[in-house]
């Protein structure tokens, strides 16, 4: 898939008035939520809203996802059946929350295969797995590789904090108790880095978790840049006001791309001269620098063509 996946906006399934706004907005991906933003008594209503919206709203080229209820609830199997049987072909990804074991991913794959066959669905639905429990984090490599349907891993920060027993002040934010000299450290570092490594190893997209304080623009930008620095492909958003900043953070900027092109040119010259390591601006470049620079240029070109 070559579509960008920088920002991913959450929309509660019980607020259908927000669906057209999300569809018309600049988020690369939208996920309609049946899980934790929907009270227990409104699960069926949310499911009906979402099924209708999958069929009737023009979602453009967005990655369109629905987050189902947890596999240990009485709702999840009904969610899958309704989405695939009644939702039409447009749905790209089913997001599965609180994945804790690769066998859950295998079970989801089987369930989707059966329902797709029964519904005569032509296109295979993908899976986006939310890693947000201690168990899920501990088994994330096996989870990421458990089915060819897996397209992305998503860090769920609020539930993860609860599951790990972390003391956090706000969703995805920093904590002054976790500080070193010169400023605050990032208590999410381990989980973010771990999920990114597992996703990249499995060849799927790592998506960083949301930043809960949607009025704190500086905090969001810093969090997005931290995720990008570690290798995240994009970041979830819980408010449309966060999308532009996330898109900007995950778009290679002109300076970075120009520098990557200089690296490639310098390496080409070095190789022509029979060398594999060379200096540029007083810094070492070697073959690994080519891979990083090529990835950056390829990404910029993909986005320019998107």
Residues in touch with ligand COA (CB under 6 A): 9-12, 18, 21-22, 33, 36-37, 210, 238-240
Nearest residue (CB) to ligand COA, 30 versus 91 = 30
Nearest residue (CB) to Mg ion, 138 versus 217 = 138
Nearest residue (CB) to Mg ion, 4 versus 172 = 172
Q: Pick what 207 binds: ligand COA, Mg ion, none; C-beta below 5 to 8 Å, kind-dependent.
A: none
Strands 283-285 vs 278-280: parallel, antiparallel or unpaired = antiparallel
208 near Mg ion (CB under 5 A):
no
Nearest residue (CB) to ligand COA, 9 versus 150 = 9
Q: Pick what 267 binds: Mg ion, ligand COA, none; C-beta below 5 to 8 Å, kind-dependent.
A: none
What does the radius of gyration of the chain's CA atoms come to, in whole angstroms? 20
Strands 183-184 vs 126-131: parallel, antiparallel or unpaired = unpaired
- Please name the residues in contact with 43: beta carbons below 8 A apart, sequence gap of 6 or more: 34, 69, 75
Q: Pick what 240 binds: ligand COA, Mg ion, none; C-beta below 5 to 8 Å, kind-dependent.
A: ligand COA
Q: Pick what 208 binds: Mg ion, ligand COA, none; C-beta below 5 to 8 Å, kind-dependent.
A: none
Q: Which of residues 100-139 bind Mg ion (CB under 5 A)?
A: 132
Query: Of the listed pieces 114-122, 140-148, 151-159, 214-222, which binds Mg ion according to CB under 5 A?
Result: 151-159
What does the alpha-carbon distance between residue 120 and residue 18 come to, in Å, rounded to a whole number? 30
CA distances, 256 to each of 95, 111, 250, 260, 277 (Å): 32, 44, 12, 6, 21
8 near Mg ion (CB under 5 A):
no
Q: Pick what 159 binds: ligand COA, Mg ion, none; C-beta below 5 to 8 Å, kind-dependent.
A: Mg ion
CA distances, 115 to each of 52, 202, 213, 262 (Å): 18, 26, 39, 51
Alpha helix stretches (DSSP H) within 75-188 = 76-86, 102-119, 134-138, 140-144, 157-164
Burial of 107 (0-12, 13-18, 19+ CB in 10 A): middle
What does the alpha-carbon distance between residue 91 and residue 51 come to, in Å, rounded to a whole number? 10
159 near Mg ion (CB under 5 A):
yes
What does the alpha-carbon distance between residue 190 and residue 197 come to, in Å, rounded to a whole number? 11
For residue 18, the minimal CB distance to ligand COA (Å) is 4
Nearest residue (CB) to Mg ion, 159 versus 208 = 159
For residue 226, the minimal CB distance to ligand COA (Å) is 19
Measured in degrees and rounded to the nearest 5, phi and psi for residue 9 equal: -90, 130
- Reduced to 3 states, what is the DSSP secondary structure of residue 9? strand
What does the alpha-carbon distance between residue 249 and residue 251 come to, in Å, rounded to a whole number? 6
> Two tokens at 15?
């607020």
Nearest residue (CB) to ligand COA, 220 versus 270 = 220
Nearest residue (CB) to Mg ion, 212 versus 227 = 212
Check if the beta carbon of residue 251 is closer than 8 Å to that of residue 298. no
Q: Pick what 220 binds: Mg ion, ligand COA, none; C-beta below 5 to 8 Å, kind-dependent.
A: none
Query: Of the listed pieces 3-11, 45-53, 83-91, 150-158, which binds Mg ion according to CB under 5 A?
Result: 150-158
For residue 36, the minimal CB distance to Mg ion (Å) is 5
For residue 98, the minimal CB distance to Mg ion (Å) is 7
What does the alpha-carbon distance between residue 31 and residue 22 come to, in Å, rounded to a whole number? 9
For residue 259, the minimal CB distance to Mg ion (Å) is 38
Residues contributing to the site for Mg ion (CB under 5 A): 132, 156, 159
């Amino acid at each position: 898939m070559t579509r960008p996946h920088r920002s991913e906006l959450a929309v509660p399934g019980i607020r259908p008035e927000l669906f057209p706004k999300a569809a018309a907005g600049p988020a690369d991906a939208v996920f309609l939520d049946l899980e934790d933003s929907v009270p227990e008594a409104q699960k069926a209503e949310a499911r009906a809203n979402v099924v209708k919206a999958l069929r009737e709203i023009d979602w453009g080229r967005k990655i369109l996802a629905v987050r189902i209820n947890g596999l240990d609830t009485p709702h999840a199997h009904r969610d899958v059946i309704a989405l695939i049987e009644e939702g039409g072909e447009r749905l790209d990804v089913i997001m599965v929350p609180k994945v804790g074991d690769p066998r859950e991913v295998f079970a989801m794959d089987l369930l989707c295969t059966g329902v797709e066959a029964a519904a005569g669905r032509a296109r295979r639905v993908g899976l986006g797995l939310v890693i947000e429990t201690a168990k899920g984090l501990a088994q994330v490599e096996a989870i990421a590789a458990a089915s060819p349907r897996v397209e992305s891993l998503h860090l769920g920060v609020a539930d993860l904090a609860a599951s790990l027993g972390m003391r956090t002040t706000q969703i995805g934010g920093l904590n002054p108790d976790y500080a070193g000299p010169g400023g605050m450290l990032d208590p999410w570092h381990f989980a973010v880095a771990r999920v990114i490594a597992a996703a990249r190893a499995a060849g799927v997209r790592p998506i960083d978790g949301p930043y809960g304080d949607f009025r704190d623009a500086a905090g969001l930008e810093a969090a997005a840049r931290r995720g990008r620095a570690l290798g995240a492909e994009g970041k979830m958003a819980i408010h449309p006001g966060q999308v532009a900043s996330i898109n900007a953070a995950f778009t290679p900027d002109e300076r970075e791309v120009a520098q990557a092109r200089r690296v490639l040119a310098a390496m080409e010259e070095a190789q022509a001269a029979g060398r594999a390591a060379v200096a540029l601006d007083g810094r070492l470049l070697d073959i690994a620098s080519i891979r990083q620079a090529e990835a950056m240029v390829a990404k910029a070109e993909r986005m320019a063509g998107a």
